[in-house]
Amino acid sequence: MKISTYVNTLSFASLMLFSASSLANAPLVSITSQDAFFNKLKSLCGKSFEGKVVVDNAPPSSFNTSKLVMHVRKCTDNQLQIPFHVGDNASRTWLITKTGSGLSLKHDHRHNDGSDDVSTMYGGHTIEAGWPQVQAFTADQYSKALFVSQGIPQSIENTWHMYIYPEKFTYRLTRPGREFRVDFDLTKTVEQPITPWGYTD
């Protein structure tokens, strides 16, 4: 290979690596309404709030009898980590992530030793712009495959909704024949819960 050709090849490779690195570090392009929603939640970072089940058309469960606390625990420009504590159960963390084509919601489920639950990282992605106060996450393909493998194919029609207003945050799950909703009181904070399973301070 000629020296000039070799140098040109190296220069092109370096340029590609530089471009890839620049893209990886660049702010994600997103929709104004989704940025506003993300930033409203981010403004609560470090705070914890108590909630209660206001709609549940399934038989009573631990959600109906335990103290419910959401903790906006860790926030970056592109991701929010929000543990959802159900009594002493610290297995659930909501991950809201900017993807460049919208917002993703994942449910990170862990065992108390920190290992992944067999049912983890299910969730959805926005398919519409939504509003600064309201976003909806339709079940993604990974989640649908997981639900089918676990024998709960009815869950492939899941949509998760999140609403944020000055005095209230709502987490809601819907699908045909099923609705579950928890409202959190944003007017007062509560004691910070324990570190969620699988995470470190």
For 200, what's the count of Cα atoms within 13 Å in the CB-facing half-sphere?
0
Answer yes or no: is 199 within a domain.
no
User: Which range has the worst mean pLDDT, 16-30, 78-92, 94-108, 118-132?
Assistant: 16-30
User: Which residues form the domain of 23?
Assistant: 1-30
What confidence score (pLDDT) does residue 104 get? 97
The residue that leads in pLDDT, 20 or 129, is 129
What confidence score (pLDDT) does residue 18 get? 35
Same domain, 4 and 67: no
Identify which of 161, 74, 169 has the alpha carbon closest to the alpha carbon of residue 126: 161
Same domain, 17 and 54: no
Answer yes or no: is 197 within a domain.
no
Same domain, 25 and 52: no
All residues at 6 or more sequence positions from 159 whose CB lies less than 8 Å from its CB, including other chains: 124, 136, 137, 138, 139, 173, 174, 175
Same domain, 9 and 75: no
Same domain, 35 and 53: yes
Query: CA 134, 138, 139, 142 torsion: positive or negative?
Result: negative
Chain segment 71-82, per-residue pLDDT in tens: 999 999 999 999
Answer yes or no: is 201 within a domain.
no
H, E, C per residue of the chain: CCHHHHHHHHHHHHHHHHHHHHHHHCCCCCCHHHHHHHHHHHCCCCCEEEEEEEEECCCCCHHHHCCEEEECCEECCCEEEEEEEECCECCEEEEEEECCCCEEEEEEEECCCCCECCCCCEEEECCCCCCCCEEEEEECHHHHHHHHHCCCHHHHHCEEEEEEECCEEEEEEEECCEEEEEEEECCCCCCCCCCCCCCCC
Task: Name the band, by pLDDT with cuts 50, 70 and 90, for residue 60.
Answer: confident
Chain segment 30-45, per-residue pLDDT in tens: 799 999 999 999 999 9
Q: Which pTM was predicted?
A: 0.86
Chain segment 83-92, per-residue pLDDT in tens: 999 999 999 9
Same domain, 46 and 15: no
